[in-house]
Amino acid sequence: MEHPFLSTDEIAKMKLEDIQSKITELTNKLGIAYNTSGNQYLIHQLLMALDSYNSAYQQKLSELFPKDTDEKYKNKIDIK
């Protein structure tokens, strides 16, 4: 579930390194929230924000490494 107040378009415009640093920051904040307050509302908000950034990160990675682009090489190796 993505966070309703985070714009997926704005996150998609970010660099991959910026998304990684934001994921690290949110993960650290989530650890602090789990260890100190136990505030379930805060934890839920952080998890939704983390999910938004993780999905943008996965999308960026899939754009960097496209799948099945070389159809001409697909059936070249046949080990029997």
Range of the domain at 41: 8-60
Q: Is 35 inside a domain boundary?
A: yes
Higher pLDDT, 45 or 3: 45
Give pLDDT, residue 20: 96
Q: Is 33 inside a domain boundary?
A: yes
Tell me which amino acid residue 7 is: S
Q: Is 14 inside a domain boundary?
A: yes
Give pLDDT, residue 54: 94
Give the separation between CA 35 and CA 41, rounded to whole angstroms. Answer: 14
Predicted confidence band at 47 (pLDDT cuts at 50, 70, 90)? very high
Residue-wise pLDDT for 12-30, tens only, equals 889 999 999 999 999 999 9
Q: Is 19 inside a domain boundary?
A: yes
Domain count for the chain: 1
Q: Is 39 inside a domain boundary?
A: yes
Tell me which amino acid residue 64 is: L
Q: Is 15 inside a domain boundary?
A: yes
